[in-house]
Amino acid sequence: MRAVIASVPAAGWVMEIVPVGEVDYDLVAWLADELQPRFGVRSTIGEPFGCRAEWFDPSRGQHCADLILDSLVDWRSARGTMEAVRFWSLGVADLNLYAADRPFVFGVATVGGCCALIGIARLRDGAGPATEHCFRERVLKEAVHELGHVAGLEHCPASTCVMYSSPGLAETDRKTTEFCAVCTLRLIECLNDGS
């Protein structure tokens, strides 16, 4: 059951889902449809954002999430969308990501900012063809989580809240795709503060 954030001022808010590199378009379109009611904003699919060699660390066999996120912010700025406070970008990359302080991450975000990134490669672990639903649910959880950070939310101590920290798939699978009551109220406050 999808929770709709009815009291969020949907008019004027836009969420752009940006494929980073080669990503399944059907998955991106499904994600855009799923995210729209959760944040009460209009979602669109942006132009694909190409991969860059400098993001890849051959010694790790992974891509640096922070470098990709910085590139996404710079790309937005060059397009003139940084001034649009009500405009968010979510990069979706079919890559194995790491961050400076962690061996792998499912996503990163500019907290209270403009952009987020999720890496979906590790979300497939244990989610084979027979469990496509499990994979998509993980993708949705990570997208909602990172966009929650963009809205200004911090991690939540409630293990079933989508804003609960997910250092691994066990935590991701345990939480839901929804905000708890406290985070829902905070989300509404954050979005109203930006209106």
Residue 5 lies in a domain: no
The pLDDT assigned to 125 comes to 81
Residue 3 lies in a domain: no
Domain that includes residue 161, residue range:
14-193
Split into its structural domains, the chain has a count of 1
Residue 2 lies in a domain: no
Annotated catalytic residues are 146
Q: How many CA atoms lie within 13 A of 114 on its CB side?
A: 18
DSSP letter for each residue of 55-66: GEETTTTEEEHH
Residue 19 lies in a domain: yes
Residue 4 lies in a domain: no
pLDDT (tens digit, 9 = 90+) per residue, 68-118?
999 999 988 777 654 544 688 999 999 999 998 899 999 999 998 889 999
Q: What's the CATH code of the domain at 51?
A: 3.40.390.10
Residue 162 lies in a domain: yes
Task: Assess whether pLDDT exceeds 80 at residue 42.
Answer: yes
Write the CA distances from 12 to 30, 128, 148, 177, 195, integer angstroms: 22, 39, 18, 24, 8
What is the arithmetic mean of pLDDT over 43-66? 94
Residue 90 lies in a domain: yes
The pLDDT assigned to 2 comes to 44
Q: What percent of the chain is predicted at pLDDT more than 90?
A: 63
Task: Provide the pLDDT confidence category of residue 38 given band limits of 50, 70 and 90.
Answer: confident
Which among 149, 147, 174 has a CA at the least distance from the CA of 161? 174
Helix 181-193 to helix 132-151 angle (10° resolution) is 50
Task: Provide the pLDDT confidence category of residue 128 given band limits of 50, 70 and 90.
Answer: low
Residue with tokens 């968010």: 88
What is the arithmetic mean of pLDDT over 121-131? 75
Count of C-beta atoms within a 10 Å radius of residue 28: 19
The pLDDT assigned to 6 comes to 40
Residue 8 lies in a domain: no
What DSSP element (H or E) covers 152?
none
Please report, as a single letter, which amino acid is at residue 180: C
